[in-house]
Amino acid sequence: MAFTVERIAVLKDNYVFVLYDQQAAAVVDPAVAPPVLDFLRQRDLKLTAIFNTHHHGDHVGGNQALLQQFPQAQVYGSRQDQGRIPGQTVCLDDGDAVDFGGEQGRVYFVPGHTRGHIAYYFPGSGHLFCGDTLFAGGCGRLFEGTAAQLLASLDQFAQLPPETLVWCAHEYTLNNLKFALSVEKDNLELQARFDQTQRARQQGRATIPTTSGLERATNPFLRVDQPSLQTTQTQDRVQVFTQLRTLKDHF
């Protein structure tokens, strides 16, 4: 039986994701604990796993409070984040497997935003939990890694099936698409997506999850090979990506 994903909006623009089946639950990047605990109580679920993508406080801030209530829960994170993720019990490397709800997930090592960032992909149900590496219409800032690293990380996601559900950790979509239009204004699919996103946000609706296929068609950071995003100065993929990331940083 496949698990269900519940999206919980917290803080200013974060999303926490709860995976659950009939008996157990796992949580991805719990920024804060109370809404997660409320959800678990309402459904009489036992928390068995915390999946952290990276060490930033708005992704691990709820770990300790959750462990106080569910001390047997395993805390998963990157091996490179050991000592930076509260309560971490399992250190993961690229290609490792995790299990939940009778399904096996694959760990992707996706540095760039941070040096130890990982993502969790469940091919059976088509869910990708990508933290702050990939956003709907955008990508994470470069805090601890290089542009070449982040581009290589995004390239891994671009290979996933187009119907893959991409669960990004922040509601940044509208601003990301405004930037995307500023660099690729003639992309008709992007124009349509921006209009749909604007209506959704006006109505208070979330834009997450997105899909891998939609990102490849409209997200400039997955489209550095497109002539429309290259310049007369360079067609080098890393240079194009670096220029886009710099422009977005000052957008």
Please list the active-site residues. 54, 56, 58-59, 113, 132, 170
Q: Kindly list the distances between the CA atom of residue 77 and the CA atoms of 48, 120, 202, 203, in Å, as whole numbers in the listed order.
A: 14, 10, 35, 35
Q: How far is CA 185 from the centre of its chain?
A: 25
Pairing outcome for strands 90-92 and 74-78: parallel
Sign of CA dihedral 134, 100, 98, 122: negative
Query: Helix crossing, 173-183 with 188-202: angle to 10°?
Result: 150
Please report, for residues 148, 164, 241, 244, the alpha-carbon distance to residue 238 in angstroms, rounded to integers and kept in the order given: 6, 25, 5, 10
